[in-house]
Amino acid sequence: MSENKIIKISVRNLVEYVLRSGDIDNRRTSAAEKMAMQEGSRIHRKIQRRMGTDYRPEVSLKHTVDQDQFQILIEGRADGIIEKPDSVTIDEIKGMYMDLSYLDEPFQVHLAQAMCYGYFYCFDHKLPGAVIQMTYCNLETEEIRRFQVDKTFEELETWFQGLIHEYVKWARYLYIHEIRRDESIGELSFPFPYRSGQKELVVSVYRSILRKRNLFIQAPTGIGKTLSTIYPAIRAMGEGLGDKLFYLTAKTITRSVAEEAFELLREQGLYLNTVTITAKDKLCFLETPECNPDACPYAKGHFDRVGDAVYDILHQESGITREIVLAYAKKHQVCPFEFCLDISSWTDSIICDYNYVFDPNVKLKRYFSEGVSGEYLFLVDEAHNLVPRGREMYSAILYKEDFLLEKKIIKTMDPKLVRLLDRCNKELLEMKRECESFRILEDIRFFVTGILSLFGEMEKFMEVHQDFKDRDLVLDFYFALRDFINIYERLDENYRIYTELLNDGRFMLRLFCVNPSKNLKECLNKGNGTVFFSATLLPVSYYKELLSGDQEEYAVYAHSPFDPGKRLLMVAGDVSSRYTRRNKREYQKVVDYLTAIVSEKKGNYMVFLPSYHFLKEVEEVLWETSLENLGFTFLSQASSMNEEEREEFLQEFSKDRELSFVALCVMGGVFSEGIDLRADQLIGAVIVGTGLPMVCTEQEILKGYFDEKEQNGFDYAYQYPGMNKVMQAAGRVIRTVEDEGIIALLDERFLRPDYQALFPREWDGYYEVRLKNVGNVVKEFWCQRERKGENEYEEDIETSPK
């Protein structure tokens, strides 16, 4: 191990971490946070262009501090440096919506950033001192307010030495920790014998990271994708190819699978720590999160105690889960959520939801704000979910009715704000009159001008009025405006702007991100490589287009290690879920198929239906049939189930019964992916329909967008997402080498070439069935399985020690 190991930190992270103190208080509108969000925005460039030839914009600076065994490298980018013959000015620009007349002095952390740059520049150029300048600009009015302070080199050096002194113990922790971590990685082996195709998967992940390329992995459910991606990523970290691993998920259950994989490797000798970031409402000690010192004792003085709390947990724990965070937060009396975010700065790996990396409002700014990058590695689990989630994160909506509600709440408090609300409402009314159902708009610049004025006035209003009735509603509206403005800044050819009259009577204006790849890449480009993996990344060209925008990305198709003889795949050619065929006769046929399949072997089955309405129709036919004729009991998924109700539903699969059990579920719902029912907990999945999304405004806009790009809009908007849901539902059956079961696809469209082209490779062999013969096909499958089982049992007896 080199004696000159370098510990890197950004200027911003250094000053924010060392200089924080006091309370968490969300009653203010967090002007400082919004300014950070605007770094690198148009206002920076506009100010920089006005400053003349002496002004050098975006100057990268760094400084190295030598310690006994390692070096600390602090890096950042000054917004501007003004060089004159007799002086140098370091300029730090912050855009904000707050009225600048409320600002008496610069924010401490902003001034500290500028002073760091001043010290670095003076040190490098052997200057006696510099002018430190803070430039604040109102984003609405473009009014500018500047603060200046002259600092000698000695003053800057003394101040910086004090700052870095507070950080040295943390840098020393990282130095020692990373030496131990890398030594343990060097001795780490894959914890199991490789399954068929698994070693090739591991090698592919490592090679893609080595080459700093992205990789798309289509791999069957149960192959061990989690371990097969985490292990090579960790090996790459040990060889200096990355310094922080992000394991990104869409669902809570996949987070726990990742935690188990890391723990398994720690049992093999790995010295590496992880933290799981959980949503604020699931970490908060209060019933409803109220992040201010009056409502929450953990918010009061949080920043005075959190450093010791982080230091404590890092020296005691390796796999830092939600429960562990809560225990240490209670011990040190700190906010669990903010505590969790701070822990992440010091761990080797972060397990979290997609939004902490991609969502412009939620993403971890310490890693992903403008000008910040790192040696990050990204593992994106269930990557098919990132397409709809990406569209959602980079879209924004305003409702006309909300403007009227806000006007009603504040009508006696701020006449100017009422007038601005009224102006925006009138413009929305004009749009509403021109909209019969939905309407695509080319330009809303005039409306956005009004929104900017409204937002600027609301900033002042929220600062002045700290407590009033329905303040929460006004604050939600304030954030909706902020989101809309921020997304408007992103508009390009990947967006569509449209208005729509909704069924509930509301009128909506939406900035819709049709293709999220450009926005997603903005975050992913801050790292060294990304691995997208899922059991359903077909066709891979679709996911390359929408997740990276680059058809030249690497892709791997992992072969299934499971015995195909343990699975029966059937396609029914005499039943359909088409809208034109949805009638009592067709619902009865679905029930007849179900009865024929279930009657051949007692066990648990899941039926995936196209919608709640379809489910209710099938359920009605089931209720009309006697239990004796059915031969099974059934339970239906409810339209909105909380976590406890979902757990109760899944517990039904663990009960002993005299009859078979059938769960009626909605395709694409909470039970069609992410659940793990192994062995005899589930022996069959009956999938009704091709999973096509309902025809609606959003899907039709998607279709139109891809038609314009000559990419077959129907496939992109309907067929590919539909088949994704089908494959996810089918993946519930075969999870391990011990599993065996039936997959029945009930829709004649599955026999068409365009659908069969989307079948995964392991679906090569299937039986085309009709209602009259499906029972015999199922019976023969189970008889074969029974004979096979008896033969294997006899072979075991013959080969066992005498």
Q: Are 409 and 358 part of one and the same domain?
A: no
* pLDDT of 601: 96
- The Cβ of residue 203 has, within 10 Å, a number of other Cβ atoms equal to 13
Indicate the SS3 state at residue 376.
strand
Identify whether 714 is part of a domain: no
Q: Are 604 and 680 part of one and the same domain?
A: yes
Residue of 359, 367, 323 lying closest to 341 (CA atoms): 367
Residue of 165, 144, 72, 78 lying closest to 114 (CA atoms): 78
* pLDDT of 438: 95
CA gap 197, 288 in Å, rounded: 48
* pLDDT of 1: 40
- The Cβ of residue 645 has, within 10 Å, a number of other Cβ atoms equal to 12
**In CATH, what number is assigned to the domain containing residue 539?**
3.40.50.300
Q: Are 497 and 632 part of one and the same domain?
A: no
Task: Name the burial class of residue 647, with classes exposed (0-12), middle (13-18) and buried (19+) by CB atoms within 10 angstroms of its CB.
Answer: exposed
Print burial letters for 696-723: b (CB count within 10 Å at least 16), e (below 16): ebbbebbbebbeeeeeebebbbbbbbbb
Q: Are 507 and 524 part of one and the same domain?
A: no
Please state, in angstroms and as integers, the Cα–Cα distance from residue 474 to each residue in 138, 289, 479, 554, following that order.
22, 17, 9, 47
Q: Are 117 and 156 part of one and the same domain?
A: yes
Identify whether 130 is part of a domain: yes
Q: What confidence tens digit (pLDDT) does each residue in 512-544 have?
A: 999 999 999 999 998 999 999 999 999 999 999
Identify whether 715 is part of a domain: no
CA gap 294, 466 in Å, rounded: 13
Q: Please list the alpha-helical segments (H only) found in 131-279.
A: 153-186, 198-210, 225-238, 252-267
Residue of 754, 762, 672 lying closest to 720 (CA atoms): 754
Q: Are 82 and 10 part of one and the same domain?
A: yes
Q: Are 24 and 162 part of one and the same domain?
A: yes
Boundary (domain end) residue, out of 170, 185, 207: 170
Identify whether 62 is part of a domain: yes
Identify whether 496 is part of a domain: yes
Q: Are 49 and 153 part of one and the same domain?
A: yes
Identify whether 190 is part of a domain: no
Residue of 165, 524, 162 lying closest to 379 (CA atoms): 524
CA gap 254, 326 in Å, rounded: 21
Identify whether 259 is part of a domain: yes
Identify whether 332 is part of a domain: yes
* pLDDT of 3: 56
Q: Are 570 and 670 part of one and the same domain?
A: yes
DSSP-assigned letter for residue 719: I
Whether omega before 561 lies within 30 degrees of 0, making that bond cis, reads: no
* pLDDT of 45: 61
Series of mean pLDDT values for 10-residue runs along the chain (802 residues): 74 89 73 42 62 82 92 92 91 80 86 96 96 86 88 97 94 94 97 89 96 94 89 97 95 87 97 96 90 93 94 97 97 96 95 95 83 86 96 98 96 94 97 95 96 91 86 92 94 97 96 97 92 94 96 92 91 93 94 96 97 96 89 93 92 94 95 84 97 96 95 95 96 86 97 95 92 96 86 49 36
Four-residue CA torsion sign, 500, 502, 507, 509? negative
Q: How many domains does the chain have?
A: 5
Range of the domain at 577: 564-694+728-790
Q: Are 618 and 590 part of one and the same domain?
A: yes
The DSSP bridge partners found for residue 571 are 745, 768
* pLDDT of 785: 92
- Give the list of residues 6+ apart from residue 612 with CB closer than 8 angstroms, or none: 639, 666
* pLDDT of 99: 75
CA gap 117, 135 in Å, rounded: 15
Boundary (domain end) residue, out of 489, 513, 537: 513
Q: Are 157 and 12 part of one and the same domain?
A: yes
**In CATH, what number is assigned to the domain containing residue 481?**
1.10.275.40
Q: Are 370 and 503 part of one and the same domain?
A: no
The DSSP bridge partners found for residue 725 are none
Give the orientation angle of helix 584-598 with respect to helix 612-624, to 10 degrees.
Answer: 70
**In CATH, what number is assigned to the domain containing residue 123?**
3.90.320
* pLDDT of 39: 40
Residue 312 belongs to what H/E stretch? helix 302-316
Q: What is the pTM of this model?
A: 0.89
* pLDDT of 737: 78
Indicate the SS3 state at residue 395.
coil
